[in-house]
């Protein structure tokens, strides 16, 4: 007789080659200490080095001294802090939208946003490579999802013609997290207008890194459009934690009334908002974004001829094919003092295992040329 299920046999074992491992590490600027060794970190989304910036950290520490650590409650109860309102105002103004709402994380922002915007009668048109939080948000809403091939605007057009309905959303990452390529956001907005849909762009990897730092929608000249709703996060280029949603005043006010992932979750610590105000002013100064872009250009030039995906963003994936080859390459790089993660299915499609190299403004020219040399020496 099979054992009765309890917590010890509830889950079927995960196949050894599919197991995910957590490895504790400590990070400092572009360095990472793993297993007692210090390596150069090419595996972080801290694209501007702000997670360790002295002014950002000082703002957080001063806030903790004055206001303590935790916010103690949801914003709706007693966790609302004046710094949140200041930051929301500045983000909206900088990004060129009427209004902004901060949320605990990008995952919470996307799940709550799609749950609020959509219901069983809504149709969602989504790029196949969208971040998991957008996939889960659509599921939570109970909406019908139509997924199109990555960046395939023709297929999207066909799907929009086929699946008519009153309330529809086109949903896409801005900069794609595993490929580093970009949605054609202006073309998507044109389609949204032609087909009377909303456009939701998650530019978690584009804010702080693309264009003048304001991200893809600003670079494309569509920021603030009334059909556009945008998500950005503090966990990446801002060097902190949390997320924000941008849109028209009416839309953001509607979310304030509906966003379950804001109501039913403790507000972020005030220190985060004080620190993110400083990150924002440093991003606005422009120097760090330009340093990052120079580093990307330097790396692309040094790595010419290697099987890199076509990306001009901070995410530079090097295709490895098999899982085994990606793992062996990551190990060889680690031996050379470089920390680069192997990304395997199911995070990416079968046969598309890769090294996901992320560059930062904090990398020196010497570190980048060391990486390019090591990549050339891979078997």
Query: Minimum distance from CB of 16 to ligand PLP (Å)?
Result: 27
Instruction: Count CA atoms within 13 Å of residue 9 on its CB side.
Output: 5
Among 53, 75, 95, 131, binds ligand PLP (CB under 6 A): 131
Count of residues in contact with ligand PLP, rule CB under 6 A = 14
What is the sign of the dihedral through the CA atoms of 124, 193, 162 and 172?
negative
Contact assessment for residue 271 and residue 67, using Cβ atoms and an 8 Å cutoff? yes
Tell which positions 220-239 bind ligand PLP, by CB under 6 A. Answer: 233, 235
Q: Is the peptide bond before 275 cis (omega within 30 degrees of 0)?
A: no
Contact range with ligand PLP by CB under 6 A, out of 9-17, 198-206, 244-252, 347-355? 198-206
Q: How many other CB atoms are found less than 10 A from the CB of residue 16? A: 6
Query: Minimum distance from CB of 129 to ligand PLP (Å)?
Result: 10
Closer Cβ to ligand PLP, 106 or 208, answer by number: 106
Q: What is the DSSP letter of 175?
A: B
Is 46 a binding residue for ligand PLP by CB under 6 A? The answer is no
Query: Minimum distance from CB of 85 to ligand PLP (Å)?
Result: 20
Contact assessment for residue 60 and residue 274, using Cβ atoms and an 8 Å cutoff? yes
Query: Minimum distance from CB of 165 to ligand PLP (Å)?
Result: 25
Which 3 state secondary structure label does DSSP give 213?
Answer: coil
Active site residue 121: no
Is 173 a binding residue for ligand PLP by CB under 6 A? The answer is yes
Query: Minimum distance from CB of 177 to ligand PLP (Å)?
Result: 4
Is 205 a binding residue for ligand PLP by CB under 6 A? The answer is yes
Is 211 a binding residue for ligand PLP by CB under 6 A? The answer is no
Kindly give the residue spans of alpha helices, DSSP state H, lying in 172-322.
Answer: 185-194, 216-219, 249-258, 260-263, 270-285, 287-302
Query: Minimum distance from CB of 222 to ligand PLP (Å)?
Result: 18
Closer Cβ to ligand PLP, 248 or 347, answer by number: 347
Contact assessment for residue 191 and residue 108, using Cβ atoms and an 8 Å cutoff? no
Q: How far is CA 212 from CA 69, 77, 193, 208, 218, in A?
A: 33, 37, 26, 8, 8
Is 289 a binding residue for ligand PLP by CB under 6 A? The answer is no
In whole angstroms, give the CA distance from residue 340 to residue 44.
Answer: 9
Closer Cβ to ligand PLP, 105 or 293, answer by number: 105
Burial 130-162 (b: 16+ CB within 10 A, else e): bbebbbebbebbebbbbbbebbebebbbebbee
Contact assessment for residue 234 and residue 207, using Cβ atoms and an 8 Å cutoff? no
Is 275 a binding residue for ligand PLP by CB under 6 A? The answer is no
Closer Cβ to ligand PLP, 102 or 122, answer by number: 102
Among 84, 243, 251, 357, binds ligand PLP (CB under 6 A): 243
User: Which of 12, 124, 19, 16 is closest to 346 using CA atoms?
Assistant: 19
In whole angstroms, give the CA distance from residue 114 to residue 318.
Answer: 32
The catalytically annotated residue of 177, 218, 279, 360 is 177
Tell which positions 107-126 bind ligand PLP, by CB under 6 A. Answer: 107, 110
Among 79, 106, 112, 232, binds ligand PLP (CB under 6 A): 106
Contact assessment for residue 140 and residue 115, using Cβ atoms and an 8 Å cutoff? yes
Is 177 a binding residue for ligand PLP by CB under 6 A? The answer is yes
The catalytically annotated residue of 131, 205, 225, 363 is 205
Among 192, 204, 255, 277, binds ligand PLP (CB under 6 A): 204
Contact range with ligand PLP by CB under 6 A, out of 6-14, 94-102, 105-113, 216-224? 105-113
The footprint of ligand PLP (CB under 6 A) covers: 105-107, 110, 131, 133, 173, 177, 202, 204-205, 233, 235, 243
Q: Give catalytic residues, as residue numbers.
A: 177, 205, 236
């Amino acid at each position: 007789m099979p054992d009765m299920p309890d917590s010890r046999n509830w889950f079927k074992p995960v196949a050894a080659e599919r197991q995910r491992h957590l490895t504790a590490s400590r990070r400092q600027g572009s360095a990472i200490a793993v297993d007692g060794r210090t390596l150069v970190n090419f595996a972080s989304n801290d694209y501007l080095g702000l997670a360790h910036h002295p002014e950002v950290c000082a703002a957080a520490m001063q806030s903790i001294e004055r206001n303590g650590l935790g916010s103690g409650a949801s914003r709706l109860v007693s966790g609302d802090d004046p710094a949140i309102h200041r930051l929301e105002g500045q983000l909206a103004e900088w990004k060129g939208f009427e209004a902004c709402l901060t949320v605990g994380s990008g995952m919470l922002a996307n799940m709550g946003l799609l749950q609020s915007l959509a219901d069983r009668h809504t149709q969602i048109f989504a790029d196949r490579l969208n971040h998991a939080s957008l996939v889960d948000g659509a599921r939570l809403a109970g909406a019908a999802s139509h997924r199109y091939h990555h960046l395939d605007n023709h297929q999207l057009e066909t799907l929009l013609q086929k699946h008519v309905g009153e309330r529809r959303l086109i949903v896409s990452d801005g900069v794609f997290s595993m490929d580093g390529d970009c949605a054609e956001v202006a073309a998507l907005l044109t389609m949204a207008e032609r087909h009377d849909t909303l456009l939701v762009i998650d530019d978690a990897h584009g804010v702080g890194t693309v264009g003048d730092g304001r991200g893809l929608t600003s670079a494309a000249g569509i920021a603030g459009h009334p059909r556009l709703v945008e998500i950005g996060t503090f966990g990446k280029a801002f060097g902190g934690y949390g997320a924000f949603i941008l849109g028209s005043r009416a839309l953001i006010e509607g979310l304030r009334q509906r966003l379950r992932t804001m109501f039913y979750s403790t507000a972020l610590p005030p220190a985060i908002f004080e620190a993110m105000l400083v990150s924002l002013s440093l991003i606005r100064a422009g120097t760090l974004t330009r340093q990052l872009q120079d580093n990307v250009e330097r790396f692309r030039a040094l790595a010419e001829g290697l099987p890199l995906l076509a990306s001009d963003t901070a995410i530079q994936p090097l295709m490895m094919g098999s899982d085994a080859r990606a793992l062996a390459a990551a190990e060889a790089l680690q031996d050379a003092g470089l920390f680069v993660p192997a990304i395997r299915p199911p995070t990416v499609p079968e046969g598309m295992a890769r090294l996901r190299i992320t560059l930062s403004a904090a990398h020196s020219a010497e570190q980048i040329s060391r990486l390019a040399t090591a990549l050339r020496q891979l078997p």
